[in-house]
C-alpha cells in the first residue's frame, strides 16, 4: 500500500480587516459645526473682555495720576498709606522667609534622623541576603551540582560500557527459516 502523502497548500496571508471610515451624517456635521461656532464665540468673548479690562485699567491709572496732580494734600496721605502698606508687606514676606528657612532646617534634620537609619537598615538587610545567598550556594546548591555531575558521568560510563558489550556480542537477531529471512510486519 503506497504511503499517503498530503499536500500542504500555503495559506494566503490575510490582511487586517479595514475599519470603514465613519460615515458622517448631516446631523453630526451640524452638531460639529455648531460646537465649533460656539467655541469661536467663546474665544472672541474672552478676547473682548481682556481688551475692555485693559482699557478700563489704563483709564483708571490716568484718572489716578490726574487726581493726584490736582490734589497734592490727598496725594501725600495716599503716599504715606502706600508706604506703610509696603512696609507691612515687606515685614510679612520677611517672616515667611524666616519660617521657610526654619522648615527647611527641620526637613534636613528629619532626613538626617530618619532616613539615614533607614538606609543603614536596608544596607544591613542587603548584606544579610548576600551572606544567606552565599551560604545556600555553598552548602546546598554546590553539592547538588556535584551530584548531578557524578550522575551524568555514571550514566555516560554505563552507556559506554553497554555499547562496548553490545558491539562485542555476535548479532543473531534475525531468524532464519529455510534460508529465507522472516520479516516482521510493521518493523
Q: Which of 99, 81, 101 is nearest to 89 (CA)?
A: 81
Q: What is the pLDDT of residue 4?
A: 52
Q: What is the mean pLDDT of residues 56-84?
A: 91
Each residue's pLDDT tens digit, 27-65: 677 778 888 899 999 999 999 999 999 999 999 999 988
CA separation for the pair 27, 10 (Å, rounded): 48
What integer best gives the mean pLDDT of the chain? 82
CA separation for the pair 150, 155 (Å, rounded): 9
CA angle 147-150-152, nearest 5°? 110
Q: Locate 66 and state its grid cell.
A: 490726574
Instruction: State the DSSP string of 66-98.
Output: HHHHH-HHHHHHHHHHHHHHHHHHHHHHHHHHH
Each residue's pLDDT tens digit, 86-115: 999 999 999 999 999 999 999 999 888 888
Q: Locate 160 and state its grid cell.
A: 559506554
Q: How many CA atoms lie within 13 A of 105 on its CB side?
A: 6
Q: Locate 64 and state its grid cell.
A: 489716578
Amino acid at each position: 500500500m503506497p504511503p499517503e502523502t498530503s499536500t500542504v497548500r500555503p495559506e494566503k496571508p490575510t490582511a487586517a480587516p479595514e475599519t470603514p471610515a465613519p460615515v458622517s451624517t448631516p446631523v453630526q456635521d451640524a452638531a460639529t459645526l455648531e460646537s465649533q461656532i460656539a467655541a469661536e464665540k467663546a474665544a472672541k468673548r474672552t478676547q473682548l473682555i481682556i481688551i475692555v479690562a485693559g482699557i478700563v485699567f489704563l483709564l483708571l491709572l490716568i484718572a489716578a495720576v490726574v487726581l493726584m496732580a490736582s490734589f497734592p494734600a490727598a496725594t501725600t496721605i495716599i503716599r504715606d498709606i502706600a508706604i506703610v502698606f509696603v512696609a507691612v508687606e515687606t515685614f510679612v514676606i520677611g517672616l515667611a522667609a524666616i519660617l521657610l528657612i526654619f522648615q527647611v532646617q527641620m526637613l534636613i534634620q528629619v532626613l538626617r534622623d530618619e532616613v539615614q537609619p533607614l538606609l543603614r537598615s536596608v544596607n544591613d538587610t542587603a548584606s544579610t541576603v548576600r551572606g544567606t545567598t552565599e551560604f545556600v550556594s555553598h552548602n546546598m546548591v554546590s553539592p547538588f551540582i556535584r551530584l548531578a555531575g557524578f550522575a551524568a558521568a555514571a550514566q555516560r560510563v554505563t552507556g559506554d560500557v553497554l555499547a562496548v558489550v553490545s558491539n562485542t556480542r555476535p548479532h543473531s537477531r534475525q531468524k532464519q527459516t529455510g534460508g529465507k529471512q522472516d520479516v516482521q510486519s510493521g518493523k
